[in-house]
Structure 1
């Protein structure tokens, strides 16, 4: 399993549309066999900062599986307007997790 972290800086006037876009885009993540879970979180001290955290079965599952699927085309159409607001988009491996 790998975790994709996408950090965004969203202007206040776009934040409601951004949240709505990810609510709709989440349907395409949920339908992917490669997506294990995802979450969208918003900064408390800096409410214009958002983090999207997506757990994938593997980097290959994300890059060659989801990104080459029809679901990705729909997903990307929804989030593409916010692409220029990305501060970071990388994959990470879990070291330790306590639940």
Structure 2
């Protein structure tokens, strides 16, 4: 298993749509056999900052298998407007 963390900077006027669209994207994401879990969190100290946490079966499954799937295409429809707001996107190995 690998954990992906995405950090977003989302302007105030787009935060409600961001949350709504990521909640909608959760459905196709979690239908993928490669995605184990999903979580979205908004920073209480700096509300423009969001963290997305996704557990994947492996980095290769995420980057190759998921991204080539129908589930990814449906997922990406929802999150496409926010790709330019990604401040950081990394995989982490649990210890």
1:21-78 Cα offsets, whole Å, 9 max, x none, are: 0010000111011101010000000011000000000011111111100110111111
Q: TM-score, normalised by structure 2?
A: 0.97
2:43 corresponds to which residue?
43
Which runs of 5 or more structure 1 residues have no equivalent in the other structure? none
Instruction: Tell me the number of residue pairs that the alignment of Structure 1 and Structure 2 aligns.
Output: 95
Q: TM-score, normalised by structure 1?
A: 0.93
1:65 & 1:40 partners in 2: Cα distance? 23
Kindly report structure 1 stretches of 4+ aligned residues shifted beyond 6 Å: none
CA RMSD of aligned residues (A): 0.6
Which runs of 5 or more structure 2 residues have no equivalent in the other structure? none
Paired residues for 1:1-99 under 5 Å: 1-95=1-95
1:72 & 1:30 partners in 2: Cα distance? 10
Residue 47 of structure 1 aligns to a residue whose secondary structure is coil
1:35 & 1:83 partners in 2: Cα distance? 19
